[in-house]
Amino acid sequence: MSNRERSRRQFARQHLDEAISATLMCARRRQCERVFLNLLHLVQGRSVMLRVGPNDGRVGWEGSVQLVRGLLRLAEHKKFWLRQPETWDSDRGPGAAIHSTQPFRASEGRGQFASLARHLLANQPLPEFMHSVWWDTTFDHAAQYLKLYRHLAKGYSVRGAELPLRLTKEMARHFPLAPHDCRVDQALRWCQIRGWGGSEAAARALVGTLLGTQVGEHEDYWAIVIPYLLRQPRLVAEPELLDPVVEYLHENRAEYLLHPAGKLLSENLESLLARVRDWSQRPISVQRPRRQSWPPTAIGGFKYVEPSQCRGCAQAWTIRELLDNWELIDEGTKMSHCVATYADVCLSRDTSIWSLQRAGVFGPRRVLTIEVDPRQRKVITALGKGNSPPRAAAREVLRRWASEQRLSIACWV
């Protein structure tokens, strides 16, 4: 093992240990410390779940930190356990985490976690994407999705659960067929679109927009908008157009809600795209105070071109530090959050603010606002528009940047 690889592994173990300590404190406050410790010792001895490594190109500790978070949630749900954890048989067998020399991948740890969750709570098989409800803390309807997990684990239909949107029988039929890499909210949107007659490609494209994360909000409006989008094959074929169109329709829904059916049914796609282009390039008009700037931190920026098999479809991403209060105002205005109020702490260098942007047809699009503690070199906040959680693609770019710059990522991000 090279010195560089040894250093990376040591760095990853350090942050995993910090995450375990922080989670143990949470377990103590939630009065499930003993149960959590029992699960922790069990998986350390019988699985690769908490083993740090390449993690499919991601930050070495990130996947394991998520699973530590999942163990805490399983401990909190002890009263629903059907079996004891001691009778769980890991696929890798006792001692695998310590003695195995096989290459480790994050998906292997997640698969073992799913096996443990099924052992503790399920009498019936569940879709693979359902297991993420235990370790993913970014769901808007987290409590509902945990109830949904227990509901499906008993063999009941998804339609009988409390959900953020209504499903027909046809939609419910598609729910377990959603791609295994979906989040639960994306799977719900996926089966809704498939139930309305959308193709798998159309469903995949639409759940990749904010429609995949903002489930349960303005559903009467989206029940008109989504069928309209499904009738536009060009949008489905060109995701770089679809994403800003959906964002525009979301931001301007008040205009469409006055007469949504008539306005959208008569909408010409080219005229809609022209208005989306004007909206995307509109100047920021806000009152500005005296301009104040500050020096950059020692942390570097980031440029990344996402590989694509489609020529001309590659996505270019950038992360850069915001270095004056006017840039914070622009970021906060475009992203609909309060980062403009961070000027004083940026000026004192107690924190630093970064903007993750993606190149698009209508110019660069802001995707995430990132807060980094420059002293600890730690990402402490990463939020999308309106303080929404990061989507999968943006989270992956964030992880790559953190790995390159040797930044840790707070376990709550």
Report pLDDT for 1.
54
Give domain status of residue 135, yes or no. Answer: no
Say how many domains are in the chain: 3
Give domain status of residue 307, yes or no. Answer: yes
Final residue in a domain of this structure, among 230, 248, 280: 280
Final residue in a domain of this structure, among 228, 246, 280: 280
Report pLDDT for 250.
86
Give domain status of residue 145, yes or no. Answer: no
> Do 251 and 313 reside in the same domain of the chain?
no
> Do 269 and 346 reside in the same domain of the chain?
no
Q: In the chain, what are the helix, strand and coil shares in percent, each to the nearest 5?
A: 55, 10, 35
Report pLDDT for 71.
95
Q: 305 phi and psi, to 5 degrees? A: -105, 115
Give domain status of residue 176, yes or no. Answer: yes
> Do 273 and 307 reside in the same domain of the chain?
no
Q: How far apart are CA 356 and CA 318, in angstroms?
A: 6
Final residue in a domain of this structure, among 228, 250, 280: 280
> Do 177 and 265 reside in the same domain of the chain?
yes
- Cβ burial 308-327 (10 Å sphere, 16+ → b, else e): eeeeeeebebbbebbbebbb
> Do 351 and 271 reside in the same domain of the chain?
no
> Do 55 and 99 reside in the same domain of the chain?
yes
Contacts of 379 (CB under 8 A, 6+ apart): 370, 371, 372, 398, 402, 407, 408, 409, 410, 413
Give domain status of residue 309, yes or no. Answer: yes
> Do 258 and 352 reside in the same domain of the chain?
no
- How buried is residue 132: exposed, middle or buried, by Cβ count under 10 Å (0-12/13-18/19+)? buried
User: Helix, strand or coil for residue 360?
Assistant: coil
Give domain status of residue 26, yes or no. Answer: yes
> Do 391 and 350 reside in the same domain of the chain?
yes
> Do 316 and 377 reside in the same domain of the chain?
yes
> Do 272 and 204 reside in the same domain of the chain?
yes
Report pLDDT for 370.
96
Written as tens digits, the pLDDT of the chain (413 aa) is 566 666 667 777 777 888 899 899 999 999 999 999 999 999 988 888 887 654 433 444 667 888 999 999 999 999 999 999 999 987 544 333 333 334 345 567 888 999 999 999 999 999 999 998 998 876 678 889 999 999 999 999 999 999 999 999 999 999 999 998 888 999 999 999 999 999 999 999 999 888 988 888 889 889 988 998 998 888 888 877 888 899 888 888 777 666 655 566 666 788 888 888 888 877 766 778 888 999 999 999 999 987 754 444 557 899 999 999 999 999 998 888 889 999 999 999 999 999 999 987 777 889 999 999 999 999 999 998 877 778 878 888 999 999 899 998 876 77
Range of 318's domain? Answer: 302-409
> Do 79 and 13 reside in the same domain of the chain?
yes
Length of the chain: 413
Report pLDDT for 309.
47
> Do 52 and 100 reside in the same domain of the chain?
yes
Give domain status of residue 342, yes or no. Answer: yes
Give domain status of residue 235, yes or no. Answer: yes
